[in-house]
A and B are shown apart, each in its own frame.
Chain A
Amino acid sequence: MNVLLIAELQDGEIRPGSLSALTFARQVALETDGSVQWLLLGENLEEATTDAARYAPVLFCDAAIFATTAADSWATAIAEVVSAGKFDLVVAASGTFAKDIVTRSAGLLGGAMASDVLGHAFVDGRLQLQRGMYAGSILATVALLGSPQIVTVQPSAYAAAEPSETSATVTNVQPDTSRLPQNIRLEHLASKRGGRPDVTEAAVVVSGGRAIKSSEDFESLVGGLADTLNAAAGSSRVLVDAGIAPNELQVGQTGKIVAPEVYLALGISGAVQHMAGMKNSKVIVAINNDPDAPIFEVADYGMVGDVYEVVPQLIERLG
């Protein structure tokens, strides 16, 4: 299959999730005697295209219209590149960027799409994809009918790709940007996350739940331990609903799916919807004052205790 990998950029750099999606793309290309190319959209892309070319050949479109993301113009441009290049498979890392934009592209390309893919296999030469359903309580194996196929990959399911030995080609593609729909106008982006690693990209995640009573406590306990361990801060839904933690930290079925080396759950009881977002972590450590909390069913290490007593001691001892 000839694969087009849609790069997700942040501050002009390729996000690590896209390198995990590249691993999936490379495996599919290898199995099918196909190829992988990047597609980068944005403005002032020189550094990003040079970096991307270390991994695979690059198609890019550098234009003012792509200075910020908008689902209508981006999705149409991506669909045009896919159709013009006769790609068989479009791949992107799962996240709100791809969910918004690449899914819309799929709607323009016939709708053969699987989201949040966790694994794949070739059976009788046919690509089969695994994905979670019902908050991860069921694992489904599906095949897509029609072409092109569109797949978003759960970055935690594939290791980040390594660069190739030689740099690949970089090719400018110029979709007719004057014809692209432009009805979504970005007014403002507010981010409350300060300085810490992204929760989907960190090797260690410290996550807080219902036991945390205020944003000050969240910052001192969850944030404090995260900083001590150079980890990302995460949250269960209840703290985001209560305004205690910012939305971009939410881990779970409808938030972010993470699988770090170590996941520390502080005062999280373990609703099915939360566990859908973290149960594939390599090691799970849970602290909760209720010994019957469901979080202990997925934990490797469990401690019954009050996070307000335990966490300050951990910060002191591990600092």
Chain B
Amino acid sequence: MKILVPTKRVPDTDQRITLREDTHQIDDAQLPYIVNPFDAIAIEEAIRIQEAGPQEVEIVAVGIGTPEYEKELRTALAMGADRALIIRCDAVLDPWNVAGILKRVVERETPDLVLMGKQAVDDDANQVGQFLAALLEWPQATFASNIECTENGLRVEREIDAGIETVQIPLPAVVTADLRLNEPRYASLPSILKARKKPIQEITIEELDYSIEPRVELINLEAPSQTRSCQWIDSVDHLVDALQEVLP
């Protein structure tokens, strides 16, 4: 079995995101980057499927971006991915083009399963997994909180608005990871050292024969202003008064 895990490089979620005064773009000068937390959960799940056996599992991590991306892909390799691909692209891509590039990667790598985060925590779009499944005409199971390999494919528990839904899907398939699928491991020092020797293959968009067609035009970014001021309440009596005032 081969599992492809697409990953995105995103600003560390502990960082405060601000805009540059001059350009109104994200001020990324000092921002540390990490593997998108949902993608880290996907990597962890792939490793657990590999560890559970008995079938042989190969895990291929994919990143799309500039050469700087290598650092985050090394993290994926240190966690336990077997090898990585970096699709070299300097442009900022919208979800449609990410899915289009990943489709080409899937056609090259022919994985049995694409396992990825349900959303990237920078643009919060929650689209790429579903787009990719549509383009490949594969079944999908989004927002996975549990994955079990079965004789015919996968049984996936999904976190949906109504509760937990369990679905059965055949392979190949696209599964997107939700928060409670697992807790990703930290890479140990020996595995970090070992990861330095694991291969990262560079592929250009031209080699994939993909041409970017934007679907989303970014017109403006702004930081919403926070205008509330907190009125402090010092007793339950006053809290009851305040609530009776504001409750519909």
Residues of A within 8 A of B (CB): 10, 70-72, 75, 95-97, 99-100, 103-108, 110-116, 128, 132-146, 181, 183-193, 198, 200, 203-204, 229, 237, 240-241, 246-248, 253-254, 256, 261-262, 272-273, 283-287, 296-304, 310, 313-314, 317-318
The complex places the Cα of A128 from the Cα of B132 at a distance, in Å, of 26
The complex places the Cα of A317 from the Cα of B167 at a distance, in Å, of 45
A262 touches B236 (CB 8 A): no
| Residues of chain A lying within 8 A (CB to CB) of residue B244 | 318
| Residues of chain B lying within 8 A (CB to CB) of residue A310 | 236, 239
Q: Please give me the residue from chain B that is nearest to A311 by CB atom.
A: B236
Question: Which single member of A128, A185, A296, A301 contacts B167 (CB below 8 Å)?
Answer: A185
A122 to chain B, nearest CB (A): 13
A-B contact pairs, 28 of them (CB 8 A): A95-B161, A99-B126, A99-B142, A107-B99, A107-B134, A107-B135, A108-B134, A111-B131, A113-B95, A133-B122, A137-B223, A141-B218, A142-B218, A184-B168, A189-B164, A240-B179, A241-B179, A261-B246, A261-B247, A272-B13, A301-B231, A301-B233, A302-B232, A303-B234, A304-B232, A310-B236, A318-B243, A318-B244
A135 touches B121 (CB 8 A): yes
Known: A96-B143, A111-B96, A140-B218. A132 touches B124 (CB 8 A): yes
Residues of B within 8 A of A (CB): 11, 13, 16-17, 19, 26, 38, 94-96, 99-100, 118-119, 121-127, 130-135, 137, 139-143, 145, 155, 158-170, 178-180, 214-224, 226, 228, 230-234, 236, 239-240, 242-244, 246-248
| Residues of chain A lying within 8 A (CB to CB) of residue B224 | 136-139
A143 touches B222 (CB 8 A): no
Interface SS of chain B: helix, strand, loop or mixed?
Answer: mixed
A112 touches B130 (CB 8 A): no
8 closest A-B pairs (Cβ-Cβ)? A107-B134, A111-B96, A191-B163, A107-B131, A183-B139, A103-B130, A96-B160, A188-B166
The complex places the Cα of A103 from the Cα of B132 at a distance, in Å, of 10
The complex places the Cα of A196 from the Cα of B216 at a distance, in Å, of 39
Question: Which single member of A110, A204, A303 contacts B232 (CB below 8 Å)?
Answer: A303
Known: A187-B155, A303-B232. A253 touches B161 (CB 8 A): no
The complex places the Cα of A216 from the Cα of B51 at a distance, in Å, of 36
| Residues of chain A lying within 8 A (CB to CB) of residue B123 | 133
A-B contact count (CB 8 A): 257
B236 touches A112 (CB 8 A): no
A267 to chain B, nearest CB (A): 14
B169 touches A185 (CB 8 A): yes
A284 touches B228 (CB 8 A): yes
A266 to chain B, nearest CB (A): 12
B217 touches A145 (CB 8 A): yes
| Residues of chain A lying within 8 A (CB to CB) of residue B38 | 254
| Residues of chain A lying within 8 A (CB to CB) of residue B143 | 96, 99-100
Q: Please give me the residue from chain A that is nearest to B168 by CB atom.
A: A185
A121 to chain B, nearest CB (A): 10
A262 touches B246 (CB 8 A): yes
B221 to chain A, nearest CB (A): 5
| Residues of chain A lying within 8 A (CB to CB) of residue B142 | 71, 96, 99-100
| Residues of chain B lying within 8 A (CB to CB) of residue A71 | 130, 133, 139-140, 142
